[in-house]
Amino acid sequence: MLKQYTALSIVAPNAERIVKKIKTLEVRSWQPEMLPLKDLRIVENQHFLLNDGDEDVGFAVALVDIESVHPWQSDEVGAACATYWAEGYLAWVIRNIRPIDPPIQVMAKRKLYRIELML
């Protein structure tokens, strides 16, 4: 049976860091319309998707919940696995991480998008 899920693509190796529970914050310039965001599929891909319509081949590697979003703080660089801090970004709090093993090949797209997976 096909089931629809909301997905978020994250450039490698950061999706794998989420699976390993090293990365507990995802930093974005925008936030989801509704929180909490349950059962979000994390899709790892190889290229930054900078323009509307950009797509890449990716792999669904985890199922997570985004519990809350808050302004990103300078002491949260490590939790975000970032190389530097910049003001004005939002930290998405990642919880309830469930790895998908083996990963499933899907399309990676910008922002939040819908994917169908066979269960």
- The CATH number that domain 2-111 falls under is 2.30.130.30
Domain ranges of the chain: 2-111
Q: What is the pLDDT of residues 85-118, one digit of tens each?
A: 999 999 999 999 999 999 999 999 999 999 987 7
Q: What pTM was estimated for this model as a whole? A: 0.93
pLDDT at 119 over 70: no
Task: Provide the residue type at 46 as one letter.
Answer: Q
Contact 63, 39 (CB under 8 A): yes
**Residues in Cβ contact with 41 at an 8 Å cutoff, skipping those fewer than 6 apart:** 5, 6, 7, 8, 60, 62, 63, 100, 106, 115, 117
